[in-house]
Amino acid sequence: MSQKRKREGSRKAIYIFPNLFTTLSLFFGFYAIMSSVQGRYYMAACLILVATVMDGLDGTVARMTKTTSLFGVEYDSLSDLLSFCAAPSVLIYLWALKPQNLRFSFLPVPDDHSLGLGLIAAFIYLACGALRLARFNVSVGHRDPGFFQGLPTTAAAAIVAAAVLWHHRFPGQVVKPNGTWALIFIVILALLMVSNLDFLSLKNKIFTKNNHPFETLALFIIVFACLIIKAKTLLLPIAFVYVALAPIITIARRVRRGSDSPDKVPKSEPESEAEEAKNEN
């Protein structure tokens, strides 16, 4: 009986392990909001990037240990709402979209308490992020796990953080953000999240059906760490390339699906959907 209880305790500990990474992602997202409110925008951007790493690890660890669960999926989405929707919207507003940073406002004389377009743009980003997460949850099992429909919230948050770091790329010098361009930038990211464009799912492409998952995970962490070290200059250009590839990937996949004949469609759809759901976060 004691051995059985030990096995059950070990199993519960294994199930809790992936959710610890989700909790860390939630914590760093919350810390990023606090840092933004305190005016520490560089710190907030770094914390959002750390949260993206934690978010990437929770689903990966869950699949490796075969401890995926509906609870984990829902908890991950709630964490993402704060870390990759609320935190970036607060950061971009306080960093670049406050009325005094913009050339236009609903009021003739912008002040700290005026309701400007920057606030609306930041909310649009938050709302589109929430819609993106909701669409992702209801589409589990009905989409190709190798691609995302719409820009993932983690990628959008990382792009916001990369934009902040880009303005700190010169040692000892901080470039002041342009409020107008920041507004256009955040609205475009919001629209991309709710778009029908196909974005490559690098995590699923790397770890799904991988014969050496733990070695690949270690290598992935090392490469990502190197990118973080050079985040000020590398992340934003890489992000732009990732976004620019989406229309090309979308067109190619549409053409490929159009050229496939009906007899090439897999016959066992329930099995295919179950496999897709297994590979989701």
pLDDT in tens, 224-248: 666 667 778 888 998 999 999 999 9
Range of the domain at 90: 83-278
Number of domains in the chain: 1
User: Mean pLDDT over residues 123-148, rounded?
Assistant: 84
Selection from 193, 192, 83 nearest residue 133 by Cα: 193
* Helix/strand/coil for 139: coil
Element (H, E) at 189: helix 179-193
Q: Is residue 230 part of a domain?
A: yes
pLDDT digit string (tens) for 160-197?
999 999 998 887 778 889 888 999 999 999 999 999 99
Q: How many CB atoms lie within 10 A of CB 46?
A: 19
Q: Is residue 229 part of a domain?
A: yes
Non-local (6+) Cβ contacts of 278 within 8 A are 63, 68
Q: Looking at the predicted structure, is the pLDDT value of residue 101 above 80? A: no
User: What whole-number distance in Å separates Cα of residue 55 and Cα of residue 79?
Assistant: 9
β-strand partners of 149: 198
Q: Find out whether 193 and 186 touch, Cβ atoms under 8 Å.
A: no
User: What whole-number distance in Å separates Cα of residue 225 and Cα of residue 24?
Assistant: 17
Q: Is residue 198 part of a domain?
A: yes
More confident residue, 259 or 142: 259
Element (H, E) at 149: strand 147-149
More confident residue, 216 or 235: 235
Residue 265 confidence class, pLDDT cut points 50, 70, 90:
very low
Q: How many CB atoms lie within 10 A of CB 78?
A: 12
Q: Is 83 left (phi over 0), alpha (psi -120 to 50) or beta?
A: alpha
Q: Is residue 65 part of a domain?
A: no
pLDDT digit string (tens) for 103-128?
655 555 555 545 578 899 999 999 99
Residue type, 104: F
Q: Find out whether 112 and 157 touch, Cβ atoms under 8 Å.
A: no
Q: Is residue 4 part of a domain?
A: no
**Range with lowest mean pLDDT among 131-135, 153-157, 274-278:** 274-278
Non-local (6+) Cβ contacts of 23 within 8 A are 79
Q: What is the pLDDT of residue 273?
A: 39
Whole-structure pTM value: 0.78
Q: Is residue 225 part of a domain?
A: yes
Q: Is residue 58 part of a domain?
A: no
User: What whole-number distance in Å separates Cα of residue 25 and Cα of residue 50?
Assistant: 8
Selection from 62, 96, 88 nearest residue 182 by Cα: 96
Q: Is residue 59 part of a domain?
A: no
Q: Looking at the predicted structure, is the pLDDT value of residue 280 above 60? A: no
Six token digits for residue 100: 């005094």
More confident residue, 123 or 221: 123
**How many residues belong to the chain?**
281
pLDDT digit string (tens) for 56-93?
877 767 666 666 677 777 888 899 999 999 999 999 99
Q: Find out whether 129 and 156 touch, Cβ atoms under 8 Å.
A: yes
pLDDT digit string (tens) for 11-43?
555 567 778 888 999 999 999 999 999 999 999
